[in-house]
Structure 1
Protein backbone atom coordinates (compact mmCIF):
# COMPACT_ATOMS: atom_id res chain seq x y z
CA UNK A 1 0.00 0.00 0.00
CA UNK A 2 2.85 2.39 0.80
CA UNK A 3 4.27 1.73 -2.66
CA UNK A 4 1.04 2.88 -4.31
CA UNK A 5 1.04 6.08 -2.24
CA UNK A 6 4.66 6.76 -3.17
CA UNK A 7 3.81 6.11 -6.81
CA UNK A 8 0.93 8.61 -6.58
CA UNK A 9 3.27 11.30 -5.24
CA UNK A 10 5.80 10.44 -7.97
CA UNK A 11 3.13 10.91 -10.64
CA UNK A 12 1.90 14.21 -9.22
CA UNK A 13 5.43 15.59 -8.93
CA UNK A 14 6.25 14.48 -12.49
CA UNK A 15 3.15 16.29 -13.78
CA UNK A 16 4.12 19.36 -11.72
CA UNK A 17 7.66 19.26 -13.15
CA UNK A 18 6.36 18.92 -16.71
CA UNK A 19 3.96 21.83 -16.23
CA UNK A 20 6.76 23.96 -14.81
CA UNK A 21 8.88 23.00 -17.83
CA UNK A 22 6.30 24.65 -20.08
CA UNK A 23 6.13 27.71 -17.82
CA UNK A 24 9.94 28.03 -17.61
CA UNK A 25 10.02 29.10 -21.27
CA UNK A 26 13.25 27.24 -22.01
CA UNK A 27 14.62 27.80 -18.49
CA UNK A 28 14.48 31.58 -18.91
CA UNK A 29 11.98 32.15 -16.05
CA UNK A 30 13.56 31.46 -12.65
CA UNK A 31 10.76 30.15 -10.42
CA UNK A 32 9.29 27.67 -12.90
CA UNK A 33 12.84 26.54 -13.72
CA UNK A 34 13.42 25.76 -10.06
CA UNK A 35 10.03 24.00 -10.05
CA UNK A 36 11.22 21.74 -12.88
CA UNK A 37 14.21 20.58 -10.84
CA UNK A 38 12.25 20.11 -7.64
CA UNK A 39 9.38 18.35 -9.41
CA UNK A 40 11.55 15.83 -11.22
CA UNK A 41 13.90 15.26 -8.29
CA UNK A 42 10.92 14.61 -6.02
CA UNK A 43 9.26 12.43 -8.64
CA UNK A 44 12.28 10.18 -9.09
CA UNK A 45 12.78 10.02 -5.34
CA UNK A 46 9.22 8.83 -4.73
CA UNK A 47 9.41 6.48 -7.73
CA UNK A 48 12.49 4.86 -6.19
CA UNK A 49 10.57 4.40 -2.91
CA UNK A 50 7.65 2.85 -4.82
CA UNK A 51 9.98 0.39 -6.53
CA UNK A 52 10.74 -1.22 -3.18
CA UNK A 53 7.32 -2.90 -3.29
CA UNK A 54 6.02 -2.52 -6.87
CA UNK A 55 7.53 -4.24 -9.91
CA UNK A 56 9.53 -2.03 -12.25
CA UNK A 57 7.31 -2.71 -15.27
CA UNK A 58 4.09 -1.87 -13.44
CA UNK A 59 5.48 1.15 -11.59
CA UNK A 60 7.16 2.70 -14.61
CA UNK A 61 4.23 2.09 -16.96
CA UNK A 62 1.80 3.54 -14.44
CA UNK A 63 4.07 6.51 -13.66
CA UNK A 64 4.71 7.40 -17.27
CA UNK A 65 1.23 6.60 -18.60
CA UNK A 66 -0.82 8.40 -15.98
CA UNK A 67 1.72 11.23 -15.99
CA UNK A 68 1.32 11.53 -19.76
CA UNK A 69 -2.47 11.52 -19.55
CA UNK A 70 -2.58 14.11 -16.74
CA UNK A 71 -0.03 16.31 -18.51
CA UNK A 72 -2.11 16.20 -21.70
CA UNK A 73 -5.23 17.16 -19.74
CA UNK A 74 -3.37 20.05 -18.07
CA UNK A 75 -2.14 21.17 -21.49
CA UNK A 76 -5.72 21.33 -22.72
CA UNK A 77 -7.07 23.04 -19.60
CA UNK A 78 -4.28 25.52 -18.80
CA UNK A 79 -2.56 26.09 -22.13
CA UNK A 80 -5.58 25.81 -24.46
CA UNK A 81 -4.05 22.91 -26.39
CA UNK A 82 -6.48 21.38 -28.85
CA UNK A 83 -8.55 18.32 -27.97
CA UNK A 84 -9.41 15.92 -30.75
CA UNK A 85 -11.04 12.55 -31.02
CA UNK A 86 -7.65 11.07 -31.91
CA UNK A 87 -6.02 12.59 -28.81
CA UNK A 88 -8.86 11.41 -26.57
CA UNK A 89 -8.66 7.91 -28.05
CA UNK A 90 -4.91 7.83 -27.53
CA UNK A 91 -5.28 8.81 -23.86
CA UNK A 92 -7.90 6.11 -23.33
CA UNK A 93 -5.58 3.56 -24.95
CA UNK A 94 -2.67 4.62 -22.72
CA UNK A 95 -4.80 4.14 -19.61
CA UNK A 96 -6.19 0.84 -20.93
CA UNK A 97 -2.63 -0.34 -21.56
CA UNK A 98 -1.68 0.46 -17.96
CA UNK A 99 -4.70 -1.43 -16.62
CA UNK A 100 -3.93 -4.47 -18.79
CA UNK A 101 -0.25 -4.46 -17.84
CA UNK A 102 -1.06 -4.29 -14.14
CA UNK A 103 -3.69 -7.02 -14.55
CA UNK A 104 -1.15 -9.28 -16.24
CA UNK A 105 1.27 -8.65 -13.36
CA UNK A 106 -1.33 -9.65 -10.78
CA UNK A 107 -2.32 -12.75 -12.78
CA UNK A 108 1.34 -13.75 -12.99
CA UNK A 109 1.66 -13.44 -9.21
CA UNK A 110 -1.49 -15.53 -8.70
CA UNK A 111 -0.16 -18.28 -10.97
CA UNK A 112 3.11 -18.36 -9.02
CA UNK A 113 1.23 -18.61 -5.72
CA UNK A 114 -1.00 -21.48 -6.90
CA UNK A 115 1.97 -23.35 -8.42
CA UNK A 116 3.83 -23.39 -5.11
Structure 2
Protein backbone atom coordinates (compact mmCIF):
# COMPACT_ATOMS: atom_id res chain seq x y z
CA UNK A 1 0.00 0.00 0.00
CA UNK A 2 1.35 3.44 -0.87
CA UNK A 3 1.76 6.12 1.76
CA UNK A 4 -0.98 8.14 0.05
CA UNK A 5 -3.45 5.28 0.49
CA UNK A 6 -2.29 4.86 4.08
CA UNK A 7 -3.02 8.51 4.83
CA UNK A 8 -6.45 8.19 3.20
CA UNK A 9 -7.16 5.24 5.52
CA UNK A 10 -5.84 7.32 8.42
CA UNK A 11 -8.37 10.06 7.64
CA UNK A 12 -11.13 7.44 7.51
CA UNK A 13 -9.95 6.13 10.90
CA UNK A 14 -10.04 9.66 12.33
CA UNK A 15 -13.57 10.18 11.00
CA UNK A 16 -14.72 6.86 12.49
CA UNK A 17 -12.92 7.56 15.78
CA UNK A 18 -14.47 11.00 16.02
CA UNK A 19 -17.91 9.57 15.22
CA UNK A 20 -17.47 6.93 17.93
CA UNK A 21 -16.65 9.66 20.45
CA UNK A 22 -19.75 11.64 19.49
CA UNK A 23 -21.93 8.52 19.60
CA UNK A 24 -20.47 7.60 23.02
CA UNK A 25 -21.44 11.04 24.36
CA UNK A 26 -24.95 10.59 22.95
CA UNK A 27 -25.19 7.05 24.39
CA UNK A 28 -25.13 8.54 27.91
CA UNK A 29 -23.09 5.78 29.52
CA UNK A 30 -24.39 3.16 27.07
CA UNK A 31 -27.93 3.55 28.37
CA UNK A 32 -29.42 4.48 24.98
CA UNK A 33 -29.43 1.58 22.49
CA UNK A 34 -28.89 3.13 19.03
CA UNK A 35 -25.98 5.44 19.91
CA UNK A 36 -24.43 2.55 21.88
CA UNK A 37 -24.58 0.25 18.85
CA UNK A 38 -23.23 2.99 16.58
CA UNK A 39 -20.36 3.56 19.04
CA UNK A 40 -19.38 -0.12 18.86
CA UNK A 41 -19.62 -0.26 15.06
CA UNK A 42 -17.56 2.87 14.51
CA UNK A 43 -14.88 1.76 17.01
CA UNK A 44 -14.48 -1.57 15.21
CA UNK A 45 -14.30 0.22 11.83
CA UNK A 46 -11.77 2.66 13.25
CA UNK A 47 -9.50 -0.10 14.57
CA UNK A 48 -9.75 -1.99 11.27
CA UNK A 49 -8.70 1.03 9.22
CA UNK A 50 -5.89 1.82 11.68
CA UNK A 51 -4.58 -1.74 11.20
CA UNK A 52 -4.47 -1.10 7.45
CA UNK A 53 -2.53 2.13 7.98
CA UNK A 54 0.03 0.29 10.10
CA UNK A 55 0.95 -1.89 7.12
CA UNK A 56 2.71 1.14 5.62
CA UNK A 57 3.34 3.63 8.41
CA UNK A 58 5.01 2.83 11.73
CA UNK A 59 2.78 2.20 14.69
CA UNK A 60 4.12 5.21 16.61
CA UNK A 61 3.55 7.68 13.79
CA UNK A 62 0.17 6.12 12.98
CA UNK A 63 -1.12 6.33 16.52
CA UNK A 64 0.36 9.76 17.24
CA UNK A 65 -1.27 11.12 14.07
CA UNK A 66 -4.57 9.35 14.76
CA UNK A 67 -4.76 10.47 18.38
CA UNK A 68 -3.85 14.07 17.65
CA UNK A 69 -6.21 14.43 14.72
CA UNK A 70 -9.01 12.66 16.57
CA UNK A 71 -8.61 15.00 19.55
CA UNK A 72 -8.86 18.03 17.27
CA UNK A 73 -11.84 16.63 15.33
CA UNK A 74 -13.63 15.60 18.52
CA UNK A 75 -13.09 19.09 19.94
CA UNK A 76 -14.69 20.55 16.81
CA UNK A 77 -17.65 18.15 17.19
CA UNK A 78 -17.92 19.23 20.83
CA UNK A 79 -18.22 22.84 19.74
CA UNK A 80 -20.63 22.22 16.86
CA UNK A 81 -22.87 19.49 18.29
CA UNK A 82 -22.66 19.90 22.06
CA UNK A 83 -21.95 23.66 22.32
CA UNK A 84 -18.79 23.01 24.38
CA UNK A 85 -16.67 26.09 23.77
CA UNK A 86 -12.98 25.65 24.71
CA UNK A 87 -11.24 28.32 26.74
CA UNK A 88 -8.04 30.09 25.67
CA UNK A 89 -5.73 27.60 27.39
CA UNK A 90 -7.48 24.67 25.72
CA UNK A 91 -7.14 26.33 22.33
CA UNK A 92 -3.39 26.77 22.90
CA UNK A 93 -3.13 23.08 23.83
CA UNK A 94 -5.03 22.06 20.69
CA UNK A 95 -2.69 24.20 18.57
CA UNK A 96 0.28 22.44 20.19
CA UNK A 97 -1.28 19.07 19.32
CA UNK A 98 -1.64 20.16 15.69
CA UNK A 99 2.00 21.29 15.72
CA UNK A 100 3.07 17.93 17.13
CA UNK A 101 1.16 15.96 14.49
CA UNK A 102 2.76 18.07 11.75
CA UNK A 103 6.25 17.59 13.19
CA UNK A 104 5.80 13.81 13.52
CA UNK A 105 4.54 13.46 9.95
CA UNK A 106 6.73 15.98 8.14
CA UNK A 107 10.01 15.69 10.02
CA UNK A 108 9.80 12.38 11.90
CA UNK A 109 11.07 8.99 10.81
CA UNK A 110 8.17 7.06 9.24
CA UNK A 111 9.96 3.73 8.79
Return the TM-score normalized by structure 1.
Answer: 0.87
Partner residue, 1:92: 95
Larger Rg: 1
Confirm or deny that 1:17 pairs with 2:20: yes
CA distance in 1, matches of 2:85, 2:98: 20
Partner residue, 2:41: 38
Gaps of 5+ in 1: 110-116
User: Which stretches of structure 1, 4 residues or more, deviate above 4 A after TM superposition?
Assistant: none
Gaps of 5+ in 2: none
CA deviation after TM superposition for structure 1 residue 104, in Å: 2.8
CA deviation after TM superposition for structure 1 residue 76, in Å: 1.4
Secondary structure of the residue aligned to 2:108 is helix
Q: How many residues align?
A: 108
State the Cα RMSD in Å.
1.4
| 1:44-64 CA-partner distances (Å, limit 9, x unpaired) | 000000100111111101100
Secondary structure of the residue aligned to 2:57 is coil
CA distance in 1, matches of 2:11, 2:95: 19
Return the TM-score normalized by structure 2.
Answer: 0.91
